[in-house]
Amino acid sequence: MQLYLPIADIPVNVFLILAMGAAVGFVSGMFGIGGGFLMTPLLIFVGIAPAVAVASVASHIAASSFSGAISYWRRRAIDPALALVLLCGGTLGTALGVWTFTLLRSLGQLDLMIALSYVVLLSTVGALMFWEGLRAILRVRRGVRWRHGHRVDHQPSCRRRRRRGCGDGDCRPDQTDDGWQPVEVIGLEG
């Protein structure tokens, strides 16, 4: 079943758009992320102009953000001070984004910049997620766990064991507090 989009000036399959909305909504609900950065590239891939895709997704973002905020507020998971600071930064960023959007549209470069911005954004997010996954794998292999942003070692350090009467010969260099590991030198240790 085709639906004609007058602003985008193309017909699209209604079920395809419904499926994309449901999939993005599901991912947003599961992971607590905004669906705009997922939905806009999907609409662009379907053939909708980038400027129309960005503008049309705004209602989807508003609805999912509002319902998510209510859900998190009921669970008392929102820090009001952090939310206020993020709101101020978001308001400034939105104003700058609208100004840039208008400028690029007047120059005729809007579609190109939106497409390039999404490539850079999604590539950066993908690379950061890959890096964090790699770090997590390395930590598990070394037996290091993290709890609330702090490192939790499974074994007490050599200094603590020395206080309990452990001899110096029992300590391996990778267990001392003042020793270093090659992985920490190259920056894989967080």
SS3 for 176?
coil
Q: What is the DSSP letter of 3?
A: E
SS3 for 147?
strand
Q: Domain spans of the chain?
A: 2-139
- What is the reported pTM? 0.50
- Is 3:12 a contact under the CB 8 Å cutoff? yes
Tell me: pLDDT of 84 over 60: yes
Each residue's pLDDT tens digit, 123-175 = 998 899 899 989 888 888 887 666 666 666 555 555 554 455 544 444 444 44
| 163-172 core/surface letters (b: 16 or more CB in 10 A; e: else) | eeeeeeeebe
Please name which of 63, 50, 51 lies closest in space to residue 24, comparing C-alpha atoms.
Answer: 63
Distances (CA, A) of 106 to 99, 109, 116, 117: 11, 8, 18, 18
Tell me: pLDDT of 52 over 50: yes
